[in-house]
Each structure stands twice: as structure tokens, then as C-alpha cells.
Structure 1
Amino acid sequence: MPAVFVLIWSTGFIVARYGMPHAPPLTFLSWRYALSALAFGLWIALSRPAFPRNGAQVLHLALTGVLMHAGYLGGVWAAVKAGIPAGTVALIVGLQPVLTALWVSASGQEARASARQWLGLLLGLLGLLLVVWRKLGTGEVTGFNLLLSIGALLCITVGTLYQKRHVKPCDVRTASFVQLLAALVVTLPLAALESEGMRWHPELIGALAWSVGALTLGASSLLYLLIQRGAATRVTSLMYLVPPCTALLAWLLFGEPLGPAVLAGMALTALGVSLVVRGAGR
């Protein structure tokens, strides 16, 4: 399940490359949330899983949806649209495992990260730097798009920790339905402020279909299950694998070069995540 999650989640920037030229970010995401919620609603109607009966649980799910969908995805897509290089965004949001480990160690909510895990986190960060370093200078970084990127990092980090602490185990279909509706309620009014309109190009339709079917119904559901079942530090360390996997996909799909530094970064990142996961099992 972790390998499938990383592979699908890594296609997010690939989708952005196809869809971003034809739609403003928040409008695209509003369509994504609405269609995904509709798909989950049909699935729920057919399978009839139990909804959370506790009102507080529904509120907890709604808050995680706002943080992990509207906040994280909205921040990343808006930052890229505002001109920040995708590699820079990947580096910033790639700090999530370190922030998570620092919080877990300081708060005592879970077992403190071991020396092996800290070594893995540092190796993963170094590998991430090697993967995205060549892309850092390919676009303009401003105070605005940097703030959006940092906001996305904080949203995914806080959302992960909040879900792990407050959301009790429940059916992933009903949980995702609540999260997506909450994200739509927040994103739709902001999308109405965007001046650019949607241009229904085949690339946009394909990007939207993949975003709904694979990224939301697939990867986001897997992330929910991984957080529900695993330690926060161990789960978030998987995010280190996303930029290297994205670089590999970009090489396969668009012919983007894979230099020695990128390959070395991929190897370091894989080693770092392995140390974090194996250290958590001890």
C-alpha cells in the first residue's frame, strides 16, 4: 500500500503540468472536489457503509479535509500558478517529515524518533535536495508564492498530526466524503474570485479525470488509511519519495534528464526512508 500511494501521489505535479495552462488552480480544485465527492457519494449509496454518528468526529474530519485538501493542494497549486518552480515547492513541502518528527518528539504523543530514524530523515532531506536542486533556479520566488508554499507545508503537517490524534478509525469512503465536502465549501468561494476561466481542452479533461479517479479516490484514500494505521513519523517519511518518483515519471513521460545528482538523490532518499521505516519497527 505505501508503494502504491507514493507512485500515485507522485503524479500530482505531472497532472498540474497538463491541467494548469487551461484552468486557474482553485477552479480546477473545486471541480476536482465536487466530482470526487459525487463519486464517493455514489459509492456510499451502493455499499451503504456506516457514517460517523458522533458530531465531533464529523467536525474533526471536516477540519482535516480543509487542511489536507483545501489548504495543502490549494497552496501548492496557487504557488505554482504564481510562478514558483515546482522543484522549489517540492523541496518546501518535502520538509513535512522533519516537522512531524520534531513535533512528535517534543509533544510525546508517540514514541520519540530513534537515532536511526533521525539519520534516515536527514539522509532523506539530503536526497531530496539533490533531486530538486537543479530546478530551484528555473522560476521566480516571491514573498507571495513562498508564503503559499509554506502555508501548504503547514496545512499538510498539521492535518496529518490532527487526524492521527483526533480522528477515530472509520470507513474511508464516508471519511473522504466529509473531507471533500468541507474542502469544497472553503475552496469554491475563493475560486469565484479568480479572473481566468476554464478552457475545456483534452489535456484539462484528462488531468481532471486522473485527479478525481487516481489522486483523490486512490491516493488520498490510501493516505487516510496509512495515517490511521501507522505512526505519524513513519507515514510522513514516505513524502520524501514523492519528488524522486516525480522526477522519474517526468523522465519517462517528458524526457526530462536524470543526471547523476538526481540518481544519487533518489538512492539517498530511498535509504533514508528505509531507515525511518525499519527504525519504527524496532
Structure 2
Amino acid sequence: MALKAATKFVLSENIADSVFDAVIVVSHSWKAVEKHAGLKAILPVLENYSKINSSIDKCTVSFIPTDAVSSNRLFYSSTGTVNTDFDDVRRYQKAAQNAVKAAVSAGVKFPLLITIPYERFPRAELIAAVGALHSAYTPYHIRSEDNQTLKLEGLGIYPIADKSPRFLELIQGIERSFIVSRDIGDGDPQRMAPPKVAEYVQELFKGSSVKVTVDSDQEKIKKEYPLLAAVNRSANDVPEHQARIIWLEYSNEEESKNSQKEFETLMLVGKGVTLDTGGR
């Protein structure tokens, strides 16, 4: 269910490609578009629009109908200021998030995202893509219903600073991890009660290099995980709500390509999955 919800990604440097039903530009300044030859067709569009809307670069999302792109739909999302001491790269995340939200509301299904880089934030394109995916996420309970489609069928990325396939793979990996985290963390308490979470995780990693082990013995949990058991005790009388311990183990059996460099062993420890009723 999780990976099926992942958005289709493509890299494209053609803003006129008819596969995209909208173009989204995220930037700190519309004038910065001038630095990129592949975007020259939309520069006069933004310039003319700035003459009738002075707030274009003030943290707003502007929808601009134009024949400069094949879909006739151009969204310009301003990050606002990026040069003060309290500005950080999250400006790009928020701007892309707002733009995709507006685009989805307008019926867009496959936009092309263009993030204009700024020297202070070399990872702006990646962070903007993460923000776009935030608004593209379809909640688990909605996806579980029959005939419910994703908010976006796909997302195009116009690469400027990083044009490598690795960049796209990184975005895809981040998106999948966010889908799983939000499905589990934001899912309703019945679809994502602890036993259901265990089933979800087992199905997610089936056939992969990740070994999943689930501890469901409540006496063992009480003995070996007393703090978890203490939180879980008020829900423990309902079998469908009893806690689970989920172990994920990834074993890389590949040989190192560099004999001088050893593989790292990483261990991540998280809170057990349980219904927390609060209290003191």
C-alpha cells in the first residue's frame, strides 16, 4: 500500500512538454529566472505579471494563465526573503508546499517543478521537492477506500544544480520514507493500531533485504520493555490494541568496492508502537 502510493517522478528540462499539465516555479525572485536559458520563455510572463501584482515576491502563490507553457497554467511561488539572518532553506519547502496545494486545488495532476537555486542554499531544489511531496501526500485512510486516486499522478523535476540520476533516486527514497512515516504516525487508531502497524511493516518489506521480526508476546514485552508495557497497560485488555515490538534488520551482503573502507553498522532505536492514552 505504501509504495503504491509513491508519486511517479521524471526529470525534464523541457517546460513545453505536453505531459505536464502545469509548471510551478519556486524562487526568491522572479528576476532570477533570467539566469537560466531554458526558462527564457516564461521570463517576460513573470515580468509582465509583476507590473500588475507587486506582491509576486512576497511569500505568495500566483496563478498565471499563459501560452508560454503547453498547459497554459503557470504557478509562481515566492519564498520571500532568503538573505536575512533568520531565513533558512525551509523557505523553499514551504513555497513548494503551498504551490502544489494550490495546483492540486486547481485540478493539476502532473506538474513540472522548477526551483531557482540560491547560492546560500545549495540543497534548495531537494528541499523544495520534499515540500511539494508534503502537499501531494494522500492519507492512508483515503487510499484504503475503493476508487480513490492519488492527489498527483506524477511530478516532474526540472534539474538545475544537480542533474544526476542520484538526485532523483534521493527524492524517491525520501518520499517513500515520508509516506510510511505519515501512514503510521497520522493513520487513524483503528487502521493503525499496533497489530495493524506490524502487518503494514511486514507487507512493506516483503521480498526485500530487510528482515522484519515482530514481538507480540505481552509477557515478554512486560519483562523486557517495562516502560513500553507501562504505557500500553490501559489498552492491553483489548487484543486489537496490544503493543508490538518491531525489529527491522538490513544486512548488506555486498563486498566493499574499496578494500580500504569498511561498511558502517548503523543502529536506530525508536519507541515501540502502542496506544498512548496520556496521563501522568
> Which structure features the higher share of helix residues?
1
TM-score normalised to the size of structure 2?
A: 0.23
The structure having more radius of gyration, on CA atoms, is 2
TM-score normalised to the size of structure 1?
A: 0.23
Structure with more contact order per residue of length (Cα contacts < 8 Å, sep ≥ 6): 1
